[in-house]
Chains A and B, each alone.
Chain A
Amino acid sequence: MSLLLASGLTDFLRDAVDLQVQVDAIGLGAIFALMAVGIGLVFGVLRLVNFAYGQLIMAGAFALAFASDRGWPVALGIALCFAVVIVLSLAMERAVFRPLRTQSPAVMLIATFAVAFLLQSIALLWFGPLGKTAASLAELNRPVTIGDVNIRKIAIVAIVTAALCLGLLVLLLNRTSLGLHMRAAAMDFQTARLVGVRANLVSAAAVLIAGVLAAVVAVLLTVQFPTVTPTFALRETIVVLAGVVVGGMTRLLSATLGGFTIGYVFGLLGGALPTAQSQYLSTFVFGLVILVLLVRPGGLFTRGRPAVERV
């Protein structure tokens, strides 16, 4: 028994340090980090947990599938994806987030829950439960050989894109006045308004940037999972939400790190565990989530006294 366990463990460790598994895990972590930024940015400014974020990605993915169905060129498909996601996010901000800005977090969370189900059921009505296929970028899913390991191109593309997006975001937040306003609003919305930050502008900006990131994620995810169904990205969103809270929602950096970490852990365990155990992957990961929350309810990557107190 212990021998079996030991050999299983060595197998696991061998697979875990495998470069291919590592790159895939980092790639997934990068995509999750982008989603975490999208969720964390909106939370920072509006104090609203956007459960419907996954459905924005789903809508973008359907736009890509629609374009590839029609045989449109790739660039046009991506443009359509961005347009759909951005219009949807702004509409969501105007119709749901803004009127609910003063409500309790629970009401806002359940409202975004409702929006999520609304979008999902519209997709179900429109495209059916089996969904469509987005195939125009499938070429990126092929591996390239570097040295003697095969690495899927999409993993590299995902890592580079995520790094680029995060770099641009850091520049925006730290080097422009809009970024300054957003950071001020995230710190203290009321005081920021008093000193002349325009509330509607920053909240629209946060939602817009989150929407752009959702479109990027839609493009990256459809390469890996070309079959787009109404529940596309739903699971990923739940996992990222958990990751964001585990990392610490109060700061964008800790939220992003949380998203990356949970994506990395998911990728690593999914790649290295044998099938008999990998079906219990969610149990492992969410068990870890509960453990971390119990030990550090304010977040894994936050400094100082936790903002959230235990009772």
Chain B
Amino acid sequence: MRVRRGILELGAPVALVIGAALLGVLVSRSTEIYFINALVAVSMVVAIYVFVGNSGVVSFGHISFVAVGVWAAGVLSVPEQEKPAFMPYLFDFLRDTTVGNVWSLLAAGVAAGVFALLVGLPLMRLSGLAAGIATFAVLEITNNILRYYEKVGPGLNTFSSVPETTDLRQAAIGAVVVIVAAFVYQRSRFGRQLRATREDPAAARAVGVSIYRQRLGAFALSGFLAGLAGGLYVHFLPINVDAVYLDLTFITLAMLVIGGSTSLWGAVVGALAVSALDSVLASAENGIDLLGRTVEVPAGTRIVVVSALMALVLILRPSGLTGGRELSFDPLWRMLRPS
């Protein structure tokens, strides 16, 4: 029973991701980009879920870890002769170092993980609203520094000429890696302890769980995964500092909450559902064929509809589409075998 549940807990999200990737293979090149985008979104949302979902503490700061990942992978993988063109003030060792695809992703994860650990050391002492605002402050500070400190990156310039290695295969592998990490963590001793502190802090403390340590561990792991997702992101599109700021913070948090923030299944479902809706509307802005008729909506409708739907889901179903539970066929079994 326990094993079967475990297989489903890991298998269902992975199957969903692989299904999305396979669907992406079938469609045209111009539509493929939406699928890659959705898979990168899955990595980010699951990375955020590792901390927010398991601890129950809302963090507005995770996009700063994505940003650090973007910077690390981007700066390290631009070919050396291209660097002076848009990053003229880099530190010498950054200017002279260029690494391959996998190494740059790893560097993105490690840089963001270390950053999250350092930030978490003081911040994880906080809880509630103070923690929320403090993580927001981290986002503001990170964004402010990356925007103006041109020794570590392009500042306001766009990351052009980063090798675009994030194709469907890499995005899918990345998403699966992040999901497996999240699964292993939440089934581990540490994950269970952290979930216990989410459900009842006092009881968890009484049995000897250190809330601070468990939160810190999850924060660092989740920062590492967010950095990895950031690495995938910069290898997918030429982006700049505004791409990893408030809008992305909002959309990823909304994906998590819409899916159901307390389950891995919810994080994956939320990311894919919102991405799908977003993509359909984006292509509707260019006109799509629907049942033989061309439907076209004015440009900018997309974001209005998406945010309206998000507000609606939050009002009608605050615990998310999945109810914050892992996928389970138990209710189905009970229905088939009433006894």
Contacts and interface: CB of A to CB of B under 8 A. Distances in A.
Nearest to B197: A311
Interface string A273-294: 0000001101100110110011
Interface residues of A, number: 45
Interface residues of B, number: 45
A297 B134 CA distance: 10
Interface stretch (A1-9, A63-71, A114-122, A204-212): A114-122
B126 A297 contact: yes
A105 B57 CA distance: 11
Interface string A209-243: 00000000000000000000000001000100110
Main secondary structure of the interface of A (DSSP, over half): helix
Contacts of A117: 247, 250, 303, 307, 310
Interface in B138-196: 138, 140-141, 143-145, 148
A165 B58 CA distance: 34
B122 A125 contact: no
Interface stretch (A19-27, A96-104, A172-180): A96-104
Given A106-B58, A118-B308, A309-B127, A286 B137 contact: yes
Nearest to A126: B300
Contacts of A100: 314-315, 318
> What 9 A-B pairs come out closest when comparing CB atoms?
A286-B137, A125-B300, A121-B303, A118-B307, A114-B311, A311-B211, A117-B307, A282-B144, A111-B314
30 contacts: A99-B315, A105-B128, A106-B56, A106-B58, A107-B314, A107-B318, A109-B58, A109-B132, A111-B314, A111-B315, A114-B254, A114-B314, A118-B307, A121-B300, A125-B300, A238-B136, A245-B130, A279-B148, A283-B140, A283-B141, A286-B144, A289-B133, A289-B134, A290-B138, A308-B127, A308-B128, A308-B129, A309-B127, A310-B125, A311-B212
Given A100-B314, A310-B127, 14 more contacts: A96-B315, A99-B315, A107-B314, A113-B254, A117-B247, A117-B250, A117-B307, A234-B246, A280-B145, A287-B137, A289-B133, A289-B134, A293-B134, A311-B126
Interface of B: 56, 58, 122-130, 132-134, 136-138, 140-141, 143-145, 148, 201, 211-212, 215, 246-247, 250, 253-254, 257, 298, 300-301, 303-304, 307-308, 310-311, 314-315, 318
